[in-house]
Chains A and B, each alone.
Chain A
Amino acid sequence: MISIRGLTKRFGGTTVLDAIDLDIADGERVVVIGPSGTGKSTLLRCVNFLDRPDAGTIAVGDVVVDAERASKRDMLALRRATAFVFQNYALFANKTAKENIMEALVTVQRRPKDEAERRALAVLAETGLAEKADSYPSALSGGQQQRVGIGRAMAIGADLMLFDEPTSALDPEWVGEVLDLMRRVAEQRQTMLIVTHEMQFAREIADRVVFMDGGRIVEVGPPDQVLDTPKDERLRRFLRRVA
């Protein structure tokens, strides 16, 4: 169970997240949509403490962090309970595909190397990239890099996986394979919080869709309700634009 309460983030004078409340059940897939600059990335980054929230609490499993009182230990605990998939993949450039996946297991989770390697190879097989285990990121296509990025997040066994527009930086030809992999992750009942502009994919994968605008959650509900019978005028305008 993930519980976000009053999550607030300001950059300089502007409030980018305005007291966000959001609960996510175990195994639930929540998709966040909304216009550019409304704080979708910031929401995900605050949940992972890549950006430090100014106020609010985040509870992921046993880890409960109060933004105003978070210690370094809290911050690490929260990051270890969550996994982040970046828009630009952000694979470790000095490590092979396999080593990218092993890194968190060996360095952060302190698992034995051979066990981590077995796990990494199993995850790579799931991503369909077994034969790329020893390739460096620079030798992989965007789609392959992002599949390794998702593999890196899968291997951690995090309570919550965060995806920030995982297909936005991809050439259209690679989008399909990345969405396929995300579907497979979803089948494993992994709890997922996904920012995406792929409306068809959102409709298909989401248990709930969250529409954000101006740093607030404006509308939440099952995909057909939010996407087909939108109540808020801003959501209607947004949907007309992306349709």
Chain B
Amino acid sequence: MRALDLDYMLGLVPVILGYVPLTLFMASVAMVCALVLASLLAVERVIRVPGLDWLVMLFISFFRGTPLLVQLFLFYYGLPQVLSFLAQINGVTAAIMGLTLHFSAYMAEAIRAAIIGVDRSQWEAAQSIGMTPAQMMRRIVLPQAGRIAAPTLVNYFIDMIKGTSLAFTLGVTEMMGATQKEAAGSFLYFEAFLVVAILYWIIVETLNQGQKQLETYLNKAYAR
């Protein structure tokens, strides 16, 4: 047993904090892209476009059925060998793409379930005033499905933030990558990884608080 090097840990905090913006940037961009993609996938799964449905199912099945790390390696190291235009893709972009595709598959299932959960009368009212299917989805069904799916989606966002730590395997210096470098210099692995763990933890707990406020806000708008 040895004592924790608290001074080292305190000194490390601002260093790693400097990489929080990059972590949040990757997670946020991936989240926005994944929400859009997942909504499209979910709508397709509900209305079942002939000829497209099997492709969407295959997509969802693949990205839910394989590990995120494997998908990231496939994108970053594998795909550029086959598709030359991907050759100069950088680690951050590859990580965002990987997170987007991976989480959109999960989120699509959550949104699909929420869409089905929107009361039938809401669809009929939208149809009765002559909305096109796209208008009905965008104006009536998806906003209500979003409210149903919100808690689940926030949980995926939290998973996504933690998932950005895998970007360090693509050579990206984000929170985890920075910690790894610091630890390799100081050999104080326990202290370094404990600091980064606590920082992730604080970020996630802050989001959990945000989620509660989001739910109160969403329910205040039209409580049942």
A residues apposed to B, CB below 8 Å: 48-50, 76-77, 79-80, 82-84, 86, 88, 90-94, 103-104, 107-108, 136-139, 152, 156
For A107, list chain B residues within 8 Å (CB): 131, 135, 139
- Interface pair A76/B222, CB less than 8 Å apart: no
Complex-state Cα separation, A90 to B140, whole angstroms? 12
| In the complex with contacts A107-B135, A108-B135, A84-B140 CB distance below 8 A | no
- Interface pair A80/B222, CB less than 8 Å apart: no
Shortest distance between the CB of B119 and any CB in chain A (Å):
8
Shortest distance between the CB of B184 and any CB in chain A (Å):
52
- Interface pair B222/A108, CB less than 8 Å apart: no
Complex-state Cα separation, A94 to B124, whole angstroms? 15
Complex-state Cα separation, A105 to B222, whole angstroms? 22
| In the complex with contacts A94-B144, A94-B147, A138-B223 CB distance below 8 A | yes
**CB-based closest 4 A-B pairs:** A80-B130, A84-B128, A79-B130, A90-B125
**Interface residues on chain B, number (Cβ under 8 Å):** 22
Query: B132 interface residue, CB < 8 Å from A?
Result: yes
Known contacts A80-B129, A104-B130, A107-B131; 13 additional CB pairs below 8 A are A50-B127, A77-B130, A79-B128, A82-B128, A84-B128, A86-B124, A86-B128, A90-B121, A90-B125, A92-B140, A93-B122, A108-B129, A108-B135
- Interface pair A83/B129, CB less than 8 Å apart: yes
- Interface pair B135/A136, CB less than 8 Å apart: no
User: Of A77, A86, A136, which contacts B125 at CB under 8 A?
Assistant: A86
What are 29 inter-chain pairs, A to B, with CB distance below 8 A? A48-B128, A50-B124, A50-B128, A79-B127, A79-B128, A79-B130, A82-B128, A83-B129, A84-B125, A86-B124, A86-B128, A90-B121, A90-B122, A90-B124, A93-B144, A94-B143, A94-B144, A94-B147, A94-B221, A94-B222, A103-B139, A104-B131, A107-B135, A107-B139, A136-B221, A137-B222, A138-B223, A138-B224, A139-B223
For B140, list chain A residues within 8 Å (CB): 92, 94
For B224, list chain A residues within 8 Å (CB): 138
User: Of A88, A104, A138, which contacts B129 at CB under 8 A?
Assistant: A104
Query: B126 interface residue, CB < 8 Å from A?
Result: yes
Q: For chain B, residues 133 to 154, give those with C-beta under 8 angstroms from any C-beta of chain A.
A: 135, 139-140, 143-144, 147
- Interface pair B130/A93, CB less than 8 Å apart: no
For A103, list chain B residues within 8 Å (CB): 129, 139
Complex-state Cα separation, A84 to B121, whole angstroms? 12
For B139, list chain A residues within 8 Å (CB): 103, 107
Residue of B nearest to A79 (CB): B130
- Interface pair B125/A76, CB less than 8 Å apart: no
Residue of B nearest to A93 (CB): B222
Complex-state Cα separation, A72 to B40, whole angstroms? 21
| In the complex with contacts A94-B222, A107-B135, A88-B147 CB distance below 8 A | no
Residue of B nearest to A85 (CB): B128
Complex-state Cα separation, A51 to B132, whole angstroms? 16
Complex-state Cα separation, A92 to B129, whole angstroms? 12
Residue of B nearest to A137 (CB): B222
User: Of B125, B135, B143, B147, which contacts A91 at CB under 8 A?
Assistant: B125
Shortest distance between the CB of A181 and any CB in chain B (Å):
18
For B129, list chain A residues within 8 Å (CB): 79-80, 83-84, 103-104, 108, 152, 156
Complex-state Cα separation, A83 to B127, whole angstroms? 10
Complex-state Cα separation, A163 to B223, whole angstroms? 27
- Interface pair B128/A83, CB less than 8 Å apart: yes
Shortest distance between the CB of A79 and any CB in chain B (Å):
4
Max chain B Cβ within 10 angstroms of own Cβ: one of A80, A91, A92? A92
1/0 contact trace for B8-21 toward A, CB 8 Å? 00000000000000
For B121, list chain A residues within 8 Å (CB): 86, 88, 90
Complex-state Cα separation, A82 to B129, whole angstroms? 8
For B143, list chain A residues within 8 Å (CB): 94
For A93, list chain B residues within 8 Å (CB): 119, 122, 144, 222
